[in-house]
Chains A and B, each alone.
Chain A
């Protein structure tokens, strides 16, 4: 009885903290524009309309805005992710049919916590439990490519439309590529020893999390992710501010511009040896766009860097034979080429 009382107290402990933080967040976000305008015009005494003034205004406004959005989204996603463990995701996907399985795996790839360093144990855990190979691939493609940080940065720097396009087409690629890998029956190209893995399922009991623990997970996610990526955000916004309409079209622009049909495939090939998470690549994408690279080509480049990377391929080489790796890279690359072409054509 006493233990129960303590548990309830612990559960309720600190309920007001999120409420206070959220109120502070709303006030800051709401008052940001007037405060920035006041600082620029009255404290710095700069004249509105001049190029330097507007560049400075853009930078001083965008950095806190994007960081505020990131804090909120990462915090919320951090809490949501405590409800989606890899174990639960695997349970949902076990023995699912093609297509439904690919769809679910791609969606779960967005919300399940994933780190490319855990790709191997995750792959083994899925395959061992009987998740179909194609479904496992849908998960492995969606997880690094689509995440909350990428979403917020895309919204902040390029607007809603680009963000929705990126997430939508990323999902289509993950679903379609996994589905095709499943259809092609490539199971024989998984390293033999994978099928001899015997995993214990004893340790699967979910530890019961209190609201307090979930709240802390959200807080930890914010400090961990922001600690890693803040520098990229500042660089990305500085580039966006400094280069606004300034940078002339140059070599890169003419090479990867809309007129060149080979722009998209070239961007993808350039992207494969590079490795970065979604947050790190976005500043580069903003540079590319400023240099006259078309949107479809820039998005294709971003997807190639985060979705197809040499280090990840080397990690996967431990569990997959080269035929399967080639199929995986080839199918995903073709998917990205389509996305790039469609957007260069439509936009």
Chain B
């Protein structure tokens, strides 16, 4: 699974990154988590509110930081 966090470095973006890494660890998924900080790259995903979460190229969360449990549910749905 390919997980991307879109964000230009705001505190909420960092919170999403931490929660995502925790959720991946807790579910034991085989996933790569990367961060997209370049605004041109972020815009390619068509989001207007950061932070956003992209799973396998699809935007699943935008403009908010879900809890670790919500993220886990999301990952399992996208498996």
Contacts and interface: CB of A to CB of B under 8 A. Distances in A.
Interface of A: 86-87, 90, 113, 115, 117-118, 120-122, 124-126, 128, 193, 197-204, 318
A285 to B, nearest CB: 26
23 contacts: A115-B12, A115-B63, A117-B8, A117-B11, A117-B12, A118-B49, A120-B8, A121-B8, A121-B43, A121-B47, A121-B48, A121-B49, A121-B50, A125-B43, A125-B48, A126-B48, A197-B43, A198-B43, A199-B43, A199-B44, A203-B59, A204-B46, A318-B39
Interface in B20-62: 39-40, 42-50, 58-59
B39 A120 contact: yes
B39 A86 contact: no
B48 A87 contact: yes
A203 B58 CA distance: 7
Given A203-B58, A203-B59, A117 B48 contact: no
A131 to B, nearest CB: 11
Which one of B11, B12, B48, B50 has the highest number of Cβ atoms from chain A below 10 Å of its Cβ? B48
Contacts of B59: 203
A118 B43 CA distance: 12
Given A87-B48, A113-B63, A121 B58 contact: no
Which one of A120, A126, A128 has the highest number of Cβ atoms from chain B below 10 Å of its Cβ? A120
Which one of B42, B43, B50 has the highest number of Cβ atoms from chain A below 10 Å of its Cβ? B43
B40 A197 contact: yes
Given A113-B63, A117-B12, A203-B58, A124 B43 contact: yes
Interface residues of B, number: 18
B49 A199 contact: no
B10 interface: yes
Contacts of A115: 12, 49, 63
A128 B44 CA distance: 11
A86 B39 CA distance: 17
Given A197-B40, A203-B58, A117 B45 contact: no
Contacts of A193: 40
Which one of A87, A113, A118, A199 has the highest number of Cβ atoms from chain B below 10 Å of its Cβ? A118
Contacts of A126: 48
Given A113-B63, A203-B58, A198 B44 contact: yes
B76 to A, nearest CB: 17
B48 A122 contact: yes
B63 A118 contact: yes
A197 B12 CA distance: 24
A124 B63 contact: no
Contacts of A90: 48
Contacts of A204: 46
A31 to B, nearest CB: 35
Nearest to B47: A121
A203 B45 CA distance: 7
Contacts of B45: 199-200, 203
Given A113-B63, A117-B10, A118-B63, A86 B44 contact: no
A118 B48 contact: yes
A125 B43 CA distance: 7
